[in-house]
Amino acid sequence: DAGVTQSPTHLIKTRGQQVTLRCSPISGHKSVSWYQQVLGQGPQFIFQYYEKEERGRGNFPDRFSARQFPNYSSELNVNALLLGDSALYLCASSLAQRRTHEQYFGPGTRLTVT
């Protein structure tokens, strides 16, 4: 079975530009979460989507937005990029929103903002 897939693998953008990152969850998983991981730190929660609705948001500015599609795939959008947005962006899927379901992480998209 395919795991969580993310695209692109690497991305280089310039300050002020916009970026879209994509995530395909494991088949049958309806919940997708996004995390930002800056070098040397643990992942930081950005968003959770379940059944195409936003169910949670972390402490990130409005420049960050996301959506989930009918096939449960998801996109993370970041506008007006800053140097500090350089990070590994991780997507995780789970069967449901319930706490007893573990999350499965994708390999991430490494974003570099210059």
Stretch that binds other proteins, among 12-20, 50-58, 68-76, 78-86 (CB under 8 A): 50-58
Least distance CB 20 / other proteins (angstroms): 19
* Residue 64 is a binding residue for other proteins (CB under 8 A): no
Write a three-state SS string for 71-111.
CCCEEEEECCCCHHHCEEEEEEEECCCCCCCCCEECCCEEE
In this complex, which beta carbon is closest to other proteins, that of residue 80 or of residue 96? 96
Round to whole Å and give the CA distance between 36 and 47.
10
Stretch that binds other proteins, among 14-22, 61-69, 76-84, 104-112 (CB under 8 A): 104-112
User: In this structure, what DSSP letter does residue 59 have?
Assistant: S
* Residue 33 is a binding residue for other proteins (CB under 8 A): yes
* Residue 65 is a binding residue for other proteins (CB under 8 A): no
User: In this structure, what DSSP letter does residue 52 have?
Assistant: T
By residue count, the chain amounts to 114
Least distance CB 16 / other proteins (angstroms): 27
Interstrand relation of 74-78 and 87-94 (parallel, antiparallel or unpaired): unpaired
Please report, as ranges, the residues that interact with other proteins according to CB under 8 A. Answer: 4, 33, 35, 40-45, 48, 55-56, 58, 88, 90, 92, 97-100, 102-108
